[in-house]
Structure 1
């Protein structure tokens, strides 16, 4: 079977698993369990908690002890077990720990899937810069298909969403063992230092200025991603409290409006090779930061009637904001880090974006919104919230080109030139 098709299938199932429950778990929680909103808020912190350490740990294991595709399969099989058990939980605290366990299995697979894909493509002599973005597009398609599958089968509030995700996770886990071998490249015999013996070589990347700065900005943009994940859907829902907006399309179908963001991802992923070839990774990442400014700024001035175009445009811009850093960032790590630490280096990238970035973004933004943008009647000043977030992204964008001194003339450029 064609290796590209096999990786497309892997990416499709990878994100189908997430899309089957991530955006609908709230409806399941409040309409079936009737647990508190404060308890539900802790559910979304599990992604950040798990991403702080699990991608790095599994990356080290893949670099030293076990084939990446096998570890990838094991994590998905274990994830299937936790998803299957979720509907049986009757206590909100237990639900939190089971979700956290699931995230500990799922979040590392994001970086492991990249390691497996890059290794398989390179093994076939295929240019990863040119060919990986179109393959990754099918992951976003998988997320959208899962979301619509759950919605059209009326399982938004049903436990079936977890059973669907569990079945696909089990199938992907089994399928992973048939993928091209991606063996460890760092053997025990090569380990001389104490850090090498522990598999912590990738952390030495922080000693390199361009990597230290890159990882720092990965954390800052990870926080921006968490802001839109946590508050985007709630922002549109809150318009229903305004009589003039109650019967608008956006208020009636907020999930459909927000799904434009995922559709946009598929288009911008395909554009990555062109932008990398033309501008280089430094400016592609800068475009991502400026896109976050637009994402938040358009939300600040949008509304479900005359300003609906701003909300839709914000969702379209999201594709550039998300893809131009996350996908390009993984390519930067792949081409700049030594091959023998590829897995743990990708794990570090995911740790900064989805771990520390998501965790601190969630905690700090929640405190800021509560103190400065929550009215006495507990309504939110969304205009002020989004302008604050836009200012945050703008400061990052202004600082980045002056501190990230990276010229478009190294390994990534040569790869792009052959794309």
Structure 2
């Protein structure tokens, strides 16, 4: 089996696990369990809480003690067991704890899978910028396939979605042990305690440009959690309106939302061109303004005549997500020494899916309940989305002014080494 195919299978399963429940858990939470929005925001913050410390910690372990592919395999096997237990929970507080445990083991596997891929491609003397994006596309395809499976099986509001995710997690856990071995850098005995603990990556904050990069990674991470948490339930709640109850968007919301992931597969292939043509700052800025459009178009959309705006919003999502997340990981790769590569990717994950997710989930849950939900529990979705769009616009303008970076067409060549 070729290296590219082996990494493709890894990426497919990595995001199939997430796609099986991430977008549809809102339907399970609000429709089946009928728990509150504030509590739901807390559930989505679990991935953020886990990402604050776990990716960086596992990056340290992968750099120095246990190879990344083995660590990823162990985490996925444990995660499969936790996912199987999740449907047995009937209390929101307990659900929070169990989901947090699941996220503690799942979130670091995202950065670990990137480390495995980059390490294998570099050892094979392949150009990461050219070779990795087509492989990474299969992560998105895995996410899409999972969403379609859950939607077509009519289990969007059912606990069965967690069993689907668990089966995939167990499969990837076992498969990970067959992946190319990543090197471990145990280091010399004369290193300081900071170096011995693998905290070298945090030195990146001493560079003003990198510090700003990580701060805006956090702010963009908040935007990502908003669309993940509320996109599916936004469409589900149109089922109370006779005008829209029988529409395709309401009957199969996960399929409509999967257009976002289809868009990813297109935009991710454009990353090498855009990075070389426009540079990291402009590519990231494009992502930020795409988030403004993503939320704003949701605000004017509906499952009827406004469905076109929802579809366009889903198409825009590809640029919003890929142009920051994938380009950001490549940027971190170019700025870190190979001895702290996994730690650097873990730090990036910590800022986006850690602090950013906690910020977005916690604030949005309270904000929606306090300002955009009527006494009878009806949510004002247009203004919710417009508020999210305003937030994204402020972030984009601040980034444009504060992040100083002159584009050099040769800078992307650094990603090859």
- CA distance in structure 2 between the aligned counterparts of 1:190 and 1:217, rounded to whole angstroms: 36
- CA distance in structure 2 between the aligned counterparts of 1:30 and 1:396, rounded to whole angstroms: 30
1:400 maps to 399
Q: CA deviation at 1:280?
A: 1.3
Check whether the contact 1:332–1:412 (CA below 8 A) recurs between aligned residues. no
Unaligned segments of structure 2, at least 5 residues:
none
Greater displacement, 189-198 / 225-234: 189-198
Q: CA deviation at 1:111?
A: 0.5
- CA distance in structure 2 between the aligned counterparts of 1:92 and 1:366, rounded to whole angstroms: 14
Greater displacement, 208-217 / 380-389: 380-389
Check whether the contact 2:89–2:95 (CA below 8 A) recurs between aligned residues. yes
1:320 maps to 319
Unaligned segments of structure 1, at least 5 residues:
none
Q: CA deviation at 1:355?
A: 0.8
2:369 maps to 370
Tell me the TM-score normalised to structure 2 length. Answer: 0.93
Give 1:16-415 correspondences, 5 Å limit. 16-28=16-28, 39-89=39-89, 91-185=91-185, 187-189=186-188, 192-409=191-408, 412-415=411-414
Q: CA deviation at 1:383?
A: 2.5
Greater displacement, 161-170 / 264-273: 161-170
Greater displacement, 14-23 / 310-319: 14-23
Check whether the contact 2:23–2:231 (CA below 8 A) recurs between aligned residues. no
SS in 2 for 1:331: helix
Greater displacement, 83-92 / 49-58: 83-92
Q: CA deviation at 1:188?
A: 3.6
Q: Residues 383 and 406 (structure 1 numbering): CA distance in 2 closer, same or farther, change over 3 Å?
A: same
RMSD across aligned positions (CA): 2.3
- CA distance in structure 1 between the aligned counterparts of 2:87 and 2:251, rounded to whole angstroms: 28
- CA distance in structure 1 between the aligned counterparts of 2:232 and 2:25, rounded to whole angstroms: 13
Check whether the contact 1:84–1:166 (CA below 8 A) recurs between aligned residues. yes
Greater displacement, 336-345 / 371-380: 371-380
SS in 1 for 2:406: coil
Check whether the contact 1:116–1:182 (CA below 8 A) recurs between aligned residues. yes
Greater displacement, 404-413 / 309-318: 404-413
Check whether the contact 1:17–1:143 (CA below 8 A) recurs between aligned residues. yes
Q: CA deviation at 1:2?
A: 1.0
